[in-house]
Structure 1
Amino acid sequence: MTSSPETPLDGVVGAEPATHDGHGNHHHHQHHHRFHHTGGRLRHILRPDGRRVHVAGSPEESNHLRKTLSIAEKDDFDIVIHGSPEHIDALRHTHQSHSEQRQRLKEKHPEIAEEFERVIRELDELSRELHMVSSHAVQLDASFSKYGYSAHLRTKDSPTSSSATSMHSDSDMFDKEAWDAERNLGTTMRFYRKPIVRQYFHKGLLWRAREAQEVASYELFIDLFYVGIIAITGDTAAEHPTGESLLRFAITFIMGWKFWSDISLLISWFDCDDILRRCSVLFILICLLGFTTNMASAFEHTYTPLVAFYLAARLFVASSLLWYACTIPMVRASMIGNAIIIILPAALWIGSIHVEEPGRQALIWPALALDTFGSSLMILVQRPQVWGSHFPRAVAWAKSKFEFFPGANIEHRIERTGAFVTLVFGSCVLGLLYQSAVEFGINAFFGKAVMGLIQAFTYNWIYFEIDSFNLHTHAIRRSVWSALIWFSVHLPFIMSFVLSASALAVLVRAHDSPDSPLDSLYETFIPRSEEHIGPGLRWFYCGGTGIALLCMAVLAHTHVHKTIPNQRLLKSKRLLARIFVAIIIICLPLAHLNSLDLVGTVTGLLAFVLVVELVGASCAGENVLWDAKCKRNRANYEAQCAVRKEELEKSAREGTVVNVEEIARREGGEKGVVGTV
C-alpha cells in the first residue's frame, strides 16, 4: 500500500544517515531549508556525511553567521559564500550523492520509485500553479456586473528572478518560436478606439488596468511648447516690474497653467491611444497658441480673443468629459460633475469681457479660483469620508452618486510633473545667456550668469535629489490632504520661480555694478542692458526666489521620509532653516544692493541651504566627505542569452564552464533569459 507524500512548504535539502535506537526502529533526520518566494535561494545544505553547510550571500553575512552559529552549533558546520567554488563544490557533491541514492532506490524498487516520482512531479506542478494564480470565489459587495465586469477576486503573483542565481532558464515557460513570432507582430493605430478608464477608486481601493501607462511623445511636446510660453509671460512682466505687471502676470500664468493641467488630466484618466486623441490634443495646443499671441496687450486691446481661446479649450475639455460620461457609465457622475465645474466659471469669463477695469477683476479672480480649485473640490465631494463625519445624509448621497470615480496614475503624474519642473529649470537658464564682444569676457556679467546657473542647479538639486531622497511615502500616497497640497503648491512654486528667473535675466545684463563695461556686450544686448535697477525688479527677483524656496519647503513637508538613526539635523529643523533663509531673501530688496551684490548674496544663501541639507541629513560620527565602506570596486553586470536548463545542470554536474561566446553566436543577439556575469 502506498500513500501520496506530503508536499512541504520548506524543501528538503538533504537527509542525515539513518540511525537505530535501542528498539530497532529507524530514525531519519531531515533538515528543511527556507525559501523566499519564487526564485529564493538555498540557505542550508546538508552534506552526505551529516555536516551542515550554511550559504551566505556576502562576506559580511558570512562573518555575521559565523559569530551567531558558533554559539549554537559549536564547530559542526561550514559557511560558504554563494557562488564561490566551495559553494559549487558542496552542491555538486551533495547532488551526486542524492543521485546515487535515487538510482539505488530505482534498482531496488523500480515500480514504486517511478510511481513516487510521478506523483511528486504532479504535486509540484499543481503547487506551482496554485502559487502563481489563485482564483477565489469571493463575491464582492459591489455591483460590478451592471457595468460588465466580473465580480470575483483573482490574485496573481508575477514570477521574479533571483539575483542569487548566475543564470535563469525555464524550458517549460519559454517558447522560442512563439516569442520570435510575437516579436515580429506589429500594431496599427485606429482613428477611434473606445476609451477605457486607466484606474478608478471604488470602496476605498484603487483599481488599475493591466496596461502600464507610459509617457507619450506628444506629452513631452506639450511640455516643451508650454515652457516656452510661460517664459514669455515672465519676460513680459520683468520688462515693466510694477504691481500692475505682477497682477497681469499672475492672471495669464494661471490661465495658461490650466491648459497644461487639463491635458495632463485627460491623458492620465483615460486610455484611448488613437488618432482622435492626438487631434484633440492638437486642437487644445492651437487654442494655447492663440491664447499666447494675445497675452502682451491683453488688458488694453486683446482681452476678448484671449478669453475666447481660453474658453474654447476649456469648453472642449468639458465636452470631452461629457462624451466620456456617455461612453463609460461607470464614472458618469464624476465626469458630469467635473464638466459642470468647468462650465460654471465660463459664465464669469464671458461676463468679464463686457466689464471694464477695474471692475473686471471682480469677475476674473472668482473665475480663476473656480478653475484652479474646482478639481480639488470635486475630489473632496467624491471622498465624503474626509469631511462628512457630521453630515450623514450628504455622505450617503455622495457615496451613492460617486460609487466609482477615476483616479490619476500616481507614477505617471509624478513623472510628468517632474519632467515639467525640469524643463522649467532648464528654460529659465536660457535667460542667463548673453554674448560678449571682447576677447577676455570674464567680468561682472559672466560672474552674475555663473551665479544664476548655480541658483538654478541648486533648486534642481534640492527638488529632485534631496527632497526625493530616502522617500518613504510620497505626498500623493500619504493622504488626500497632502496630495491636494502637493498638487496646489506646484502652481505658486513654478510661477514664482519663472518670475524670479525672468528678473534675474535682466539683472545679469545690467551694468550698474563695478567691472561691467557696457561695450563688452554684443551690440544686440547693449540696448537691453539696464543702467539702474529699480525696486520693482529687486522685489520680483528676491520675492520670486524666496517664495519658490518656501514652496519647496512645503512640498518636502508633505512627504514622509525614512528615519535615519543619529542624523545630525532632523527634517523639521532643516526645513525651518530653509524657511528662515527664504524670509531673508524676500527682505533683501530693502538693502538696496546693486545687481552683482544682490545676485551674489542670494547665491550664497541658497548655497547655505544646500550645505545644511547635505550635512544635516548625514549621520553623526560618519565622514561626510567619503565613505570608506562604499565598495565601489564591485559591480554586477548582466547579459541576455538563451540557454536551456539542461545545459546549466550538465555544466554544474560536470564542473565545466558554459561557453558564453558559443551561446551568443548560436542565438545571434539578445534573446531569451538573463544571465548575470
Structure 2
Amino acid sequence: MSITPAAARSVSNHPPVRPGLGVSTTGTSSSSGLLTPARGAKRRRPTEFLLPDGRKVLVALPQDAEVLKTKYKFGSHAHGRHEQDEGTQVEVVVHGSAEHRQYLHLTKAHHESRKHALREKLGEHVHVLDELMSVSSQLGDITNQIQKVAQQVDRSVTSLKTNFSKFGYDAQLRTYADDDDIPVETGLYGNGSGNDTPSPGDGKEVSRRSSFTFGGSRSGTGTGTAFGEDDDYGGRDGGDTMKLFRRPVVKQYFHRGLLWRASEETQVMSFELFFDLLYVGILAVNGDHAAEEYNGHELLRFVVTFIMSWQIWSGVTQLISWFETNDVLQRVQVLFLIACLLGQTTNMLQAFHEAHDTYTQLVAFYVAGRLFMAAYYGLTAFLVPLVKGPMMAQIIHTVAGVAFWMGSTAVEMPNRLILIFIAIVIDLFGSMVHVAMFRYGRSHDSKLAVRFANMFEFYPAINIEHKVERTNAFVTLVLGYSVVALIFQNASKMGFNAFLGKAILGLVQGFVFNWLYFEVDGSNLQTHAIRRSPNTAFIWQHAHLSFVMAYILAAAALSKMVVATDCANAPLEALTEFYQHRSDEEVHLGLRLYYCIGLGIALFSMGLISFSHEHRTPRGACRLPKWVRLLNRSAVCVVLFCLPAADPHHLNSLHLIAITTCLSVWVLLFETYAKACKTESFISFGAADDGKGGNNGKGCYTAQCTKKELDEAMKRVNEKKAGVDDGGEGGGGGGGEGGGNETEEVIEVVQGKELSKGEKTAVVDCQ
C-alpha cells in the first residue's frame, strides 16, 4: 500500500539527507573547507558580485576555479550574459578563501561609506531616506517570499517534467532540487545545535549543501547566477557504468510530514518489461483453463493462483519503485523471482486436483519468492539504517503470510481454504497495519505515537509515475489477451459468418474498455489517487486487482462464446479442427456467469478507479457531474449482472455479445458527452478551438526556440512585409502580385513569452 502526503503531518520544511548512498556533499569540512562532489554530480554554479573599482568577482569551488581562471585569462566568457561586458576585468576566487572574504569586506565597506555620504547630503531630509529604506526592506522580504513559493512550485512541477501535471501537485511534496530550503548552519533536523547531525559512516551523512545522484540520473541545484545548470567546467562528466553491487538508495520517502523525491522522471527498466512477458503466458494458461471448466472449483483455483502471481508482480514493482541500485545483483534478483514465478505457473492448473495435486509445489515456489523479498528487506535494513523500521515491518508482514501458506500444505481440503484465505488477507491487506502505525505516529503525541514516529521517521514512498506506468503495462497485457483470445481460424469459403460477427463485436468491446480506462478514467487528472489520500490510494490499488481478474474471466469466456454454434449462420464446418474441439452447441450457465458477471465487476472496478481520482473540469464546467456518470455505470453493471438469468434459448451467444457490446458503447458515449464542456461545440473545423467551434479556420502552433532565433525570425517577417509594401506602392504589377502571395505564407507570431533574466528559450504561439 502506498502512502500519500495526506498521510503525514507537516512538522518541518527543512529537507533531510537522502537515505542510502548517492549522497555527495559540497559543504565545508574540517580540513579543506570544501568537500568534493561525487563523480558525475552537478556542481555548484559560481556566484558573482562587483568590486568598487568595477571588477567582476566570480566565486567558484576549488575544482572549477583553475578552469575558470584559464578561461578568463584568454578573455573568453562562460555565459552569454557576459558578452555585453567585454571590457570588464574578471577575478576568479575560491569560495571561503581569504581573498574571497577580503573582497566581501571591501565591497561592504564601500557601500556603507556611500550610504553615510548620502545621509550627510540629505541633511534634514534624512528621515525620508530611512523611511524609503524601511519600505524597500519590507518590499524585498515580501518579494523574496513570493519568489520562493514560485520557485518551489516551479521545481516541484516543472522539474518533475510532465509526470507532475498528470498526477497532481501537492504542497507537501519536495524534490531534491529544492536545496534553497536547506538551512546553511543547521544539522539534519534544522535546530542549529548540531546534536542531531549524524556522523559520517553511519548511513546518515548530511552537509550544508547536498547533491544527490542515483542510477544514471542526476539532480541538484546550486546558488549563483553566472552559469547554466548543464555546464561541465572540467569536462569530467562521463557515461554511467554498471557495478556488480551498489548500496541501495531510497528514491523517495516521507520525513516529518513531507514527501521527498528526485526531480527526474523514473523510467521503466528493460528487465521489468521482460518480467511482463511471463505474464502473457500466465494470462493465457490461467484464463483458457478457467473457460474450459466453468464451475465454482475452477473459479476458486483461478482466484487463488492469480492473487499469488499478482503478489509476486506487486512485490517486484514495489522493490524497484522504492530503491535504486541499477547493478548486476538487482538483475539477478529479478531473474530469480521470474524463475520462482515460472515454477509457480507450471503448477497452477492441478493445484486443487484430487488425483494430481500440485498445490505443495505451487506454494513452495511462491514461498521461495516471498522469503527472498523478505531477505532483501533485511539486507536493506542493514545497509540503510534510516529505513530500518519500515523494512522490519515489511519482513514481519511477509513472514506472517508465508507461515499460513506453509501451514496450508499440511491440511487437506476443505479445511485448507481457511488458511489460504487468511494468508491472502495478510498478503493483500497486511501492509495497512504498519501504514496505520506510521500515520498514528505523525498525528498523535502519546508515548506510543512517539515510538512509532521514531520507528518510521523515514518511510519509503511509492514512485507514482513508475507505479502508474507498470500498472498501465499490466492492464495493457490483460486487454491484449482479450483481443488475442478472439482469434479463430476459418475453414469455409465464405468468411462472413456469425463467428466473425461475434469476434468483431468482442473487438469493439475490448477497444471500448481500453478507451474508458486510458482516455476517460486515466486522463485529465487533477490529482492522482495515490497522491490524493491514503484511502483513495488503497481503492486504486485493489480495484485494479478485481478489474484484472474479472476482465480475464470475461475475456476467456468470450473466446469460448465466439466459436459457439448456438446461433444462425454458425456451422461447425466453418471452423478448423482445433477450434471445432473448442466449440460448444450451447453456452452453459457457468460460461454466461463468467462473461456477464466478469464484465460487470470489471466495469464497476473501473468506476471505483475513476472515483478515486480527482479530475480536472473544463472551463464552463462539464455537461454532467461525475456522480451522474458513475451512477450510469452502476446501472449498466446491474443490467450485466442480470443477463445470465435470461433464457439461453431466447438469448444465444450472438445476442448476448451484441447486448454487452452495446451497453459498453453506451457507457463510452455517455461519458464522452457528460465530460464535454457546456459552452463548447462537439465539432471544430479549426486546428484550435476558440470555444465557438473553431478558430476561424486558422491553425495555431506552439514552438520552442532560442531568443536569438525568435528575434531573427521576427526580423525576417518584418523585412518580407516591408518588401511587399514597397512592391505594391511601386505599381509593378507582377512584383506586387508576387509579393502578395508571399505574404500569405508568412507565419505571424501572435503571442510570445517574455524571457526572464536567466532563461535561454522562448515559447511562442503562432497562427
Does TM, scored on the shorter chain, surpass 0.5? yes
Q: CA deviation at 1:293?
A: 0.5
Tell me which of 615, 621, 645 is aligned to 1:590.
645
Q: CA deviation at 1:395?
A: 2.2
Aligned to 1:357, the other structure's residue is in SS state coil
Residue in 2 that maps onto 1:264: 317
What amino acid does structure 2 have at the position aligned with 1:589?
P
2:677 is equivalent to residue 619 of structure 1: yes
2:527–2:615 contact (8 Å) kept in structure 1: yes
Partners of 1:481 and 1:569 lie apart in 2 by: 25
What amino acid does structure 1 have at the position aligned with 2:701?
N
Aligned to 2:701, the other structure's residue is in SS state coil
Q: CA deviation at 1:625?
A: 3.8
Residue in 1 that maps onto 2:408: 352
1:432–1:505 contact (8 Å) kept in structure 2: yes
- Name the CA shift for 1:277/1:656 in 2 (closer, same or farther; >3 Å): farther
- Name the CA shift for 1:315/1:442 in 2 (closer, same or farther; >3 Å): same
Tell me which of 627, 636, 639 is aligned to 1:572.
627
Cα-to-partner distance string for 1:473-494 (whole Å, 9 max, x where unaligned): 1111111111111111111111
- Name the CA shift for 1:257/1:650 in 2 (closer, same or farther; >3 Å): closer
Residue in 2 that maps onto 1:508: 562
Partners of 2:209 and 2:246 lie apart in 1 by: 28
Q: CA deviation at 1:654?
A: 13
Aligned to 1:245, the other structure's residue is in SS state helix
Residue in 2 that maps onto 1:141: 189
2:512–2:668 contact (8 Å) kept in structure 1: yes
1:231–1:498 contact (8 Å) kept in structure 2: no
Following superposition of structure 1 onto structure 2, how do residues 406-421 of structure 1 map, counting pairs within 5 Å?
A: 406-421=460-475
Residue in 1 that maps onto 2:552: 498
What amino acid does structure 1 have at the position aligned with 2:564?
A
Partners of 1:199 and 1:566 lie apart in 2 by: 36
Partners of 1:674 and 1:186 lie apart in 2 by: 30
Partners of 1:637 and 1:209 lie apart in 2 by: 29
1:171–1:645 contact (8 Å) kept in structure 2: no
Residue in 2 that maps onto 1:403: 457
Following superposition of structure 1 onto structure 2, how do residues 499-648 of structure 1 map, counting pairs within 5 Å?
A: 499-564=553-618, 565-592=620-647, 593-620=651-678, 622-626=680-684, 629-631=693-695, 633-636=698-701, 638=703
Q: CA deviation at 1:639?
A: 7.7
Q: Is the deviation greater in 648-657 or in 417-426?
A: 648-657
Partners of 1:655 and 1:568 lie apart in 2 by: 45
Residue in 1 that maps onto 2:505: 451
For structure 1, list consecutive stretches of 5 or more residues without a partner in the other structure. Answer: 1-98, 100-114, 120-126, 160-169, 658-671
Q: CA deviation at 1:398?
A: 1.2
2:707–2:762 contact (8 Å) kept in structure 1: no
For structure 2, list consecutive stretches of 5 or more residues without a partner in the other structure. Answer: 1-83, 85-109, 115-142, 152-178, 191-195, 212-218, 721-759
- Name the CA shift for 1:639/1:522 in 2 (closer, same or farther; >3 Å): farther
What amino acid does structure 2 have at the position aligned with 1:584?
V
Partners of 1:330 and 1:590 lie apart in 2 by: 58
Number of matched residues? 524
Q: CA deviation at 1:380?
A: 2.1
Tell me which of 270, 275, 300 is aligned to 1:217.
270
2:422 is equivalent to residue 366 of structure 1: yes
The TM-score, its normalising length taken from structure 2, stands at 0.63
Residue in 1 that maps onto 2:386: 330
Tell me which of 302, 308, 318 is aligned to 1:249.
302
Q: CA deviation at 1:347?
A: 1.5
Cα-to-partner distance string for 1:605-645 (whole Å, 9 max, x where unaligned): 111111110111123354334455444742436588xx896
Partners of 1:623 and 1:376 lie apart in 2 by: 46
- Name the CA shift for 1:561/1:646 in 2 (closer, same or farther; >3 Å): closer
Residue in 2 that maps onto 1:467: 521
Q: CA deviation at 1:235?
A: 1.2
2:250–2:324 contact (8 Å) kept in structure 1: yes
Partners of 1:451 and 1:349 lie apart in 2 by: 42
2:251 is equivalent to residue 198 of structure 1: yes
- Name the CA shift for 1:204/1:447 in 2 (closer, same or farther; >3 Å): same
Q: CA deviation at 1:188?
A: 2.0
Aligned to 2:578, the other structure's residue is in SS state coil
2:681–2:693 contact (8 Å) kept in structure 1: no
1:338–1:375 contact (8 Å) kept in structure 2: yes
2:532 is equivalent to residue 482 of structure 1: no
- Name the CA shift for 1:440/1:674 in 2 (closer, same or farther; >3 Å): farther
Partners of 2:501 and 2:299 lie apart in 1 by: 28
1:346–1:367 contact (8 Å) kept in structure 2: yes
Aligned to 1:145, the other structure's residue is in SS state coil
Residue in 1 that maps onto 2:363: 307
1:171–1:644 contact (8 Å) kept in structure 2: no
Partners of 1:674 and 1:280 lie apart in 2 by: 46
Q: CA deviation at 1:305?
A: 0.8
1:376–1:484 contact (8 Å) kept in structure 2: no
Residue in 2 that maps onto 1:30: none
Q: CA deviation at 1:396?
A: 2.4
Q: CA deviation at 1:247?
A: 0.8
Q: CA deviation at 1:428?
A: 1.9
Partners of 1:383 and 1:505 lie apart in 2 by: 46
Residue in 2 that maps onto 1:289: 342
Residue in 2 that maps onto 1:428: 482
Q: Is the deviation greater in 644-653 or in 260-269?
A: 644-653
Aligned to 1:575, the other structure's residue is in SS state helix
Partners of 1:338 and 1:177 lie apart in 2 by: 42
What amino acid does structure 2 have at the position aligned with 1:232?
V
Partners of 2:544 and 2:589 lie apart in 1 by: 27
- Name the CA shift for 1:587/1:653 in 2 (closer, same or farther; >3 Å): closer
Partners of 1:270 and 1:136 lie apart in 2 by: 27
Aligned to 1:546, the other structure's residue is in SS state helix
What amino acid does structure 1 have at the position aligned with 2:674?
G
Q: Is the deviation greater in 487-496 or in 519-528?
A: 519-528
Q: CA deviation at 1:138?
A: 6.5
1:549–1:578 contact (8 Å) kept in structure 2: yes
1:639–1:674 contact (8 Å) kept in structure 2: yes
Q: CA deviation at 1:427?
A: 2.1
What amino acid does structure 1 have at the position aligned with 2:642?
C
Partners of 1:227 and 1:373 lie apart in 2 by: 26
Cα-to-partner distance string for 1:632-676 (whole Å, 9 max, x where unaligned): 742436588xx896996899699879xxxxxxxxxxxxxx97997
Partners of 1:603 and 1:410 lie apart in 2 by: 33
* Higher RCO structure, 1 or 2 (CA under 8 Å, sep 6+): 2
- Name the CA shift for 1:510/1:150 in 2 (closer, same or farther; >3 Å): same
2:291–2:591 contact (8 Å) kept in structure 1: yes
Partners of 2:538 and 2:530 lie apart in 1 by: 8
Partners of 2:628 and 2:611 lie apart in 1 by: 11
What amino acid does structure 1 have at the position aligned with 2:699?
R
Partners of 2:189 and 2:274 lie apart in 1 by: 43
The TM-score, its normalising length taken from structure 1, stands at 0.71
1:428–1:502 contact (8 Å) kept in structure 2: yes
Q: CA deviation at 1:449?
A: 0.7
Cα-to-partner distance string for 1:510-552 (whole Å, 9 max, x where unaligned): 1111111111112221111111111000000001000011111
What amino acid does structure 2 have at the position aligned with 1:634?
G
Partners of 2:632 and 2:707 lie apart in 1 by: 59
Partners of 1:232 and 1:421 lie apart in 2 by: 17
2:210–2:220 contact (8 Å) kept in structure 1: no
Tell me which of 275, 286, 289 is aligned to 1:233.
286
Residue in 2 that maps onto 1:94: none
Residue in 1 that maps onto 2:163: none
Partners of 1:325 and 1:192 lie apart in 2 by: 16
